[in-house]
Amino acid sequence: MVDLAHSVLSLSTAAAVASIKVDFDGHRVVFKMKKTSKMGKMMRSFCADMKIDPKSVRFYLDGRRILPDEKVGDLGDLDSDHSVVEVYSEQEGGGGGGGGGGEEA
């Protein structure tokens, strides 16, 4: 009986935790988090580990930006091999002078 109770406890604990795979600049980091935790916790930890400014990166899952207040469990099945959080560097600029702006002579 004790073994059965232990097995049930292990299954329920495993169901409450998600493995979150994060890719950035050729590095993959895996976080284990409770499904009730907010993603901001993982984001802060990731940035601290990688020694990058949290304001300089954005986190995406399946092409959709992840916000710090979102809970892990609300993002779907993060345990599958296809669910990888991608981190992109924030880019500035995009509007500056240089070439063919349609000016007439």
Encode pLDDT of 70-90 as tens digits.
999 898 877 676 789 999 997
Q: Say how far apart CA 56 and CA 73 lie, in whole Å.
A: 25
What pLDDT is recorded for position 4?
45
Q: Say how far apart CA 54 and CA 49 lie, in whole Å.
A: 11
Percent of the chain with pLDDT over 90: 50
What pLDDT is recorded for position 101?
56
What pLDDT is recorded for position 104?
54
Q: Say how far apart CA 99 and CA 26 lie, in whole Å.
A: 34
Tell me the average pLDDT across 9-32.
Answer: 78
Tokens of 64: 């959709």
Helix (H) or strand (E) holding 64: strand 64-65
